[in-house]
Amino acid sequence: MTDKSDKTLWAGRYEAQAAESLRKLNDSLPFDKRLYASDVKCSGDYARALADAGVITHEEAHEIGGGLQRIVQEFIAGIFPFAAGDEDIHTAVERRLTEIVGPVAGKLHTGRSRNDQVATDVRHWQAGEITKINALLVRLARTLVSQADQHVDTLMPGYTHLRAAQPISAAHWLLSFFWMVTRDVERFTICRDHTLVSPLGSGALAGNPYPIDRVDLAKAMGFYAATPNSLDGVSDRDFIVELMSAAALLMVHLSRFAEDVILYSSPQFGFITLDERYTTGSSLMPQKQNPDVLELARGKAGRIAGHLSGFLNTLKGLPSTYNKDLQEDKEPLFDIIDTLETLLPALIGLVETMSFVPERMLAALDEGMLATDLADYVVAKGVPFREAHGIIGRLVRHGLETQTPLSQVPLEDYRAIFPDFDEDVYAVFDFAGSIARRKSFGGTAPEAVRVQIDQANEWLTNR
């Protein structure tokens, strides 16, 4: 008979121990041990549900609960004694519980499978992490608004195709990313709602044969509801895909912001100065100040998008209910959470401490960016915009050919292209005036931006 001192939860069916190569492939303890608090919490609530259903006594549930609390304290103190046979965090906790309270620990798994246990623990853990991420995103949003509030009247070029297009305010640029972050918070909030549906009581796939109240159990664990179908309950990982999707889109937003700030803080632009605490130097070139926080934000966007793509491909061919492939959910999920919880504080600090250089932004404005304002001038004379666009296009061409700034083109040359130009056309060449005219809702005019800031502060007040 083979020695079974290192036996698994399923060893009764087997004569031989698992091959070492299989253990290395199969065991998930190295990465899922972080679920210990959720496993203990949900196990304790399940023990009480078993007692309420009359499956075990309340005294036994109390004994199990006491053992679980001791396990939590061991994890917190860093003294939990892992053993060679611990396949995952769930087997480790059950094994240690048996060492503490004896055979009664074996009653905890009555009616419960690791299939519904794992799915429940991951949901419980993920919901808590979403709360942390949203708190960080609200901090980032608040920081963007705080910076915007100081730069309502700070002028800068706005770009399309990375070519100077029209003047805007620095506040308007900052707030464009604030609104992206609000949508990210909303997506994570919805994901959290979808996460907090408990599969516990689904068993391996067919349901629980004992009269536990799954709805009450779900609420005791902090969930909103119980899954309505046991087959779906043990296999559903939509909530993880939703988190990965929300994280991937968040990273797209952060990467776009990072790219702007990398450009604007470069010596060639000089619009933004980064605090030294959020940059790094070069090992070779003493003069360098590298925007590593921003570059890592940009780089990690691809990594997180890759996790989403990879996990979708894991799921797409699975047959019904639980399959071991689903173990592949955890490492990318954990990496995404770790990445966000590491990146966001650094990015918040960078935004809090970065400063604008208004004179450099103002110097980057050129009269060509007011060509649309000239077209609007012609439209005010009753000319259809498309015709006005052509008129100003010819005027721009004239300025290029004569190497004359538009503000210095003689009035007679203006009138040669369009007879209704008057002396007041030169008043168009005012960058602040151009911005002020764009006061429609959502525009870059100071009064419109202050409306945005009021809306932003209202959003923040409700978070």
Query: Could you give the residue numbers annotated as active site?
Result: 161, 282
- Chain centroid to CA 337: 9
Residue whose C-alpha is closest to residue 245's, from 296, 319, 179, 194: 194
DSSP state of 266: S
- CA dist., res. 295 & res. 262, Å (int): 8
Q: How far apart are CA 31 and CA 35, in angstroms?
A: 9
- SS3 at position 273: strand
CB 341 within 8 A of CB 270: no
How many residues in the chain?
463
Detail the DSSP E strand segments found in 152-276: 155-160, 163-169, 197-198, 225-226, 272-273
Residue 320 DSSP code: S
Max distance between CA atoms of the chain, in angstroms, equals 107
| CA distances for 381 relative to 144, 417, 425, 437, angstroms | 40, 14, 12, 17
The angle formed by the CA atoms of residues 384, 386 and 388, to the nearest 5 degrees, is 70
Q: Compute the half-sphere exposure of residue 396: CA atoms within 13 Å on the CB side of its CA.
A: 16
* Helix H or strand E encompassing 356: strand 355-356
User: Locate tokens 């007679």: which residue?
Assistant: 412
Give the separation between CA 243 and CA 225, rounded to whole angstroms: 19
